[in-house]
Amino acid sequence: MTEQSPALDNLLTESRTFPPSEAFAAKANATADSYAEANEDREAFWARQAERLHWDTKWSQVLDWSDAPFAKWFVGGKLNVAYNCVDRHVEAGHGDQVAIHWVGEPGDTRDITYAELQREVSRAANGLISLGVTARDRVAIQLQMIPEAIIAMLACARIGAMHSVVFGGFSPSALRQRVDDAQAKIVITSDGQYRRGKAAPMKANVDEALAGAESVEKVLVVRRTGEDDVPWNNGRDLWWHELVEAQSDQHTPEAFDSEHPLYILYTSGTTGKPKGILHTSGGYLTQAAYTHHAVFDHKPGEDVYWCTADIGWVTGHSYIVYGPLANRVTQVVYEGTPNTPHEGRHWEIIQTYKVSLYYTAPTLIRTFMKWGADIPAKYDLSSLRVLGSVGEPINPEAWMWYREHIGGNRCPIVDTWWQTETGSIMISPLPGVTHTKPGSAQRPLPGISAKVVDDAGNEVGKGGGGYLVLDKPWPGMLRGIWGDDERYRETYWSRFSEQGYYFAGDGAKYDADGDVWLLGRVDDVMNVSGHRISTTEVESALVSHPTVAEAAVVGATDPTTGQGIVAFVILRGDVAEDQARGDAAIQELRNHVSKEIGPIAKPRQIMVVPELPKTRSGKIMRRLLRDVAENREIGDVTTLADSSVMDLISSGLKSGS
Ligand code: 6R9
């Protein structure tokens, strides 16, 4: 056997741990025993979790993996997903419980109870039926964070139609590509959206996108900003309120097969057209509900939950709509940006609604750090119990800041690793059980199996780095790529086809305790003089310096070392730029990295920038920074949250150097 090189060098070490408090552990939803129980009989474990839902017909088989990698979970079972998320709570006497505390960006608010949600979803379902929408039809939804977005998704689920939610900020061409690929029959959008205190048109973009789109029969338009002259296509366009208000608020949900398709959600690959990730009903809802219950320790009727994700990201699907509503959540949904009208907006909302469970992304935590700890300090955050993180590895320093300044050193932090493809959380601490470590997602959840393997697919030992794989099927897993079975096999199952492992595309390592640390996408791994270095580790070392708020590193071609590490850093609010841009300050940062993780990881170059290029889910687009580092023309920027960022970076570098 030839010796296999590890996929990644394991450089950064972190030894802080935080045990759960006894008081929290005593009441926690999760128990330490559930790992062993699930290990003993994985399928029996998931069957018990499926009992959280209402099934019209019980399944006859838990898992059918005979046609791998196409899974079937809860075979023969029938259920209605929307009934599970709404109606059954009303029937159980909780109709008056608030499901959604909605907060509009301009300051308008709306509380929606479960009874109201049931009526709204029923009306919307009847409205879609009146337009000829039937089970398995595709409905594209491009909406901002307004209640209608959630209502429209649930209305689709209720009648067995599939939704395909597209980010409110996506360009006309991105929308068109997704509408065409899914052959959507209906598009739901709004007249306009509030963004940073201003109303911006939305319908006009949708019209541009849909010119000549043959599959689209009707466009439903929610009135939000009250634009004066909304462009209108008679015969195709309908006001949402006119259609929906005319409908009966009664609708009897039909039970669909456990494997009935629920939605498509597009995720952009590094190359090629976006992939339409397909999710189905019974297994998906089971895992979304179980993980929301166990990972957030959610207690229905007591907690107030807030997931700050956009509905256009999978986190909005699984942890605003399906998991939480299946668990009878009371949740905050906020329409706008975190600094409108001021940088304390999130803390003000937490104080007002007494939010107890808060779930956000590292990018936002680092932004809050940059704005300064004095801002959250002005608000009463004592209602908080659990803090969550998702979307990227969270740097240990950001984790510590989150714990101290938001969590008052008392709230467990759950760093949740998962993907659009996995449907739900896969690797995460369990609050009340896990001794947490800043920066580590730690262990696969009960019922989930993951491994870190080397190039040949052999599990690496403690302290080793490699590729993260999922070696057993799980209920919420994707059921394929819409319309492209071959691409599904090729993308996820070919790298370790011999072993039958799903390859997620992420690098990871085990620490000395066997806990998992995520190290970023393997496409981003840097190779310096033969050492494979993770972007995450170098970024975390930079962020641990008191002057740095955010950092992104890339490998740029280097004549001597193969690649050289180039770092882009954003400074904390209180650091003067001219001072930190000075040669001495840059030198200090380079030495700091060297001291934290070793001379091999010392950046060749560090550039101070005002912003970093990010997707709408907050992921740094390192590909674009590589273009800057290698002095190339900047590539495709259509999936950036803010497409002007690259200009800002380039012009800043010119004037600063
Ligand atoms: C839920 C979501 C998936 C990719 C994933 C990984 C990164 C997400 C993470 C994390 C480290 C975490 N990722 N959560 N990396 N720690 N807690 O983000 O889905 O948008 O499909 O992205 O995000 O690289 O492979 P999606």
Summarize the annotated binding site for ATP as residue ranges.
Answer: 391-393, 415-420, 506, 521, 532
Q: What is the DSSP letter of 11?
A: -
Of residues 351 and 654, more confidence is placed in 351
Rounded average pLDDT over 402-417: 98
Rounded average pLDDT over 108-124: 98
Report the predicted TM-score, pTM, of the whole model to 2 decimal places.
Answer: 0.95
Rounded average pLDDT over 273-302: 97
- Buried b / exposed e across 438-457, counting CB within 10 Å, b at 16+? bbbbbbbbbbbbbbbbbeeb
Is the pLDDT at 263 greater than 50? The verdict is yes
Is the pLDDT at 255 greater than 80? The verdict is yes
Mean model confidence pLDDT for the chain: 94
Of residues 2 and 222, more confidence is placed in 222
Residue 518 CA to ligand 1 centre (angstroms)? 9
- Whether 416 is in the pocket of ligand 1, judged by its Cβ within 6 Å, is yes
Per the listing, tokens 């806990």 go with: 515
Query: Would you list the domain boundaries of the chain?
Result: 22-507, 529-655
* pLDDT recorded at residue 68: 97
Cβ burial, residue 557 (10 Å; 0-12/13-18/19+)? exposed
102: enclosing H helix or E strand:
strand 98-103
Nearest CA to ligand 1 atom 15: 392
CATH code at 529-655? 3.30.300.30
Residue 427 CA to ligand 1 centre (angstroms)? 11
pLDDT tens-digit readout, 43-93? 999 999 999 999 999 999 999 999 999 999 999 999 999 999 999 999 999
- Is the Cβ–Cβ distance between 278 and 264 less than 8 Å? yes
* pLDDT recorded at residue 109: 98
* pLDDT recorded at residue 258: 98
pLDDT tens-digit readout, 588-642? 999 999 999 899 999 999 999 999 999 888 899 999 999 999 988 888 787 777 8
3-state secondary structure of 106: coil
Rounded average pLDDT over 216-228: 95
Question: Amino acid identity of 26?
Answer: A
* pLDDT recorded at residue 269: 61
Question: Could you tell me the CA-to-CA distances from 420 to 167, 279, 476, 651 in Å, in that order?
Answer: 14, 9, 10, 34
Residue 378 CA to ligand 1 centre (angstroms)? 32
* pLDDT recorded at residue 423: 98
Summarize the annotated binding site for Mg(2+) as residue ranges.
Answer: 543, 545, 548
- Whether 534 is in the pocket of ligand 1, judged by its Cβ within 6 Å, is no
Distance CA 584, CA 630 (A): 24
- Whether 257 is in the pocket of ligand 1, judged by its Cβ within 6 Å, is no
pLDDT tens-digit readout, 498-543? 999 999 899 999 999 999 999 999 999 999 998 999 999 999 999 9
- Whether 69 is in the pocket of ligand 1, judged by its Cβ within 6 Å, is no
Is the pLDDT at 317 greater than 80? The verdict is yes
Least confident of 421-435, 458-472, 640-654: 640-654
pLDDT tens-digit readout, 92-110? 999 999 999 999 999 999 9
Confidence band of 301 (pLDDT split at 50, 70, 90): very high
Rounded average pLDDT over 3-26: 85
* pLDDT recorded at residue 656: 44
145 CB-side CA count, 13 A: 27
Distance CA 195, CA 58 (A): 46
Rounded average pLDDT over 386-409: 97
Instruction: Tell me what percent of the residues of the chain surpass a pLDDT of 70.
Output: 96
Is the pLDDT at 657 greater than 70? The verdict is no
Distance CA 494, CA 500 (A): 8
Its CATH class, for the domain covering 22-507, is: alpha beta
Is the pLDDT at 343 greater than 60? The verdict is yes
